[in-house]
Amino acid sequence: MKATFVLVANNETENMARKIMLEAHRKANLGFEMTRLPNHVSLKQPFHIDDLDGVEKYFDEFVKTLKPLTVKLKHLKCFPSSVFGYDSGVMMMVAEKSNELVELHSRLNRELEERFGCCTAEFDGDEYTFHMTIAIGGKPFEAYQEALSLLDEREYNREVTFNQLGLLYYDDDNIKPGTYFCYKKIEL
């Protein structure tokens, strides 16, 4: 099992991201795998858990210490990805790294390790890239690059306030499609 903590997009931001997803799909047939989850900015990538109940209890405590957070979404970018166990791609809206986001990421890593032991995840640490995924998996990376090059040259740069924390659950450590969902959301 795996879990992760995310800032869940509000309706306006979700609608914007879904519109971009559809446009990218129409340009390069990227599919809709990302619709399995609400659009979000991850505070930590998925990490292995042995006890969902214990993680949920910590999640309930953690969310009480948070307040709504404004995040600046800057631009779209594509990266190669093998998250599903095969070579593919991911399209994301990059979020500006802020002191608040860095502190929440660091705090989660520290507190989760204190409570549950090693909870490392790929990309943890100083070089962590905060982002909101638009499309992922199913097509070669070149299709993601093609979609990005064909998208309208519009301004994606905007500030968004996130007022929900989500707990995502992955039933399979290999994150196979169909084995994950948003288990819980709580208002900040």
Structure-block tokens of residue 16: 């914007």
H/E stretch holding 150 reads: helix 141-150
pTM: 0.93
Name all domains of the chain by residue range, CATH numbers in brackets. Answer: 2-187 (3.90.1140.10)
CB 167 within 8 A of CB 10: no
Question: Alpha carbon 81 to chain centroid distance?
Answer: 14
- The pLDDT score that the predictor gives to residue 122 is 82
The 10s digit of each residue's pLDDT in 75-90 is: 999 999 988 888 999 9
- The residue among 11, 38, 69 whose CA lies nearest residue 134 is 38
Distance, in Å, from the CA atom of 38 to the CA atom of 7, rounded to the nearest integer, reads 10
Structure-block tokens of residue 171: 């039933």
Structure-block tokens of residue 90: 């991911």
Query: Average pLDDT in the 31-48 region?
Result: 93
The 10s digit of each residue's pLDDT in 107-160 is: 999 999 999 999 988 888 888 899 999 999 889 999 999 999 998 767 778 999
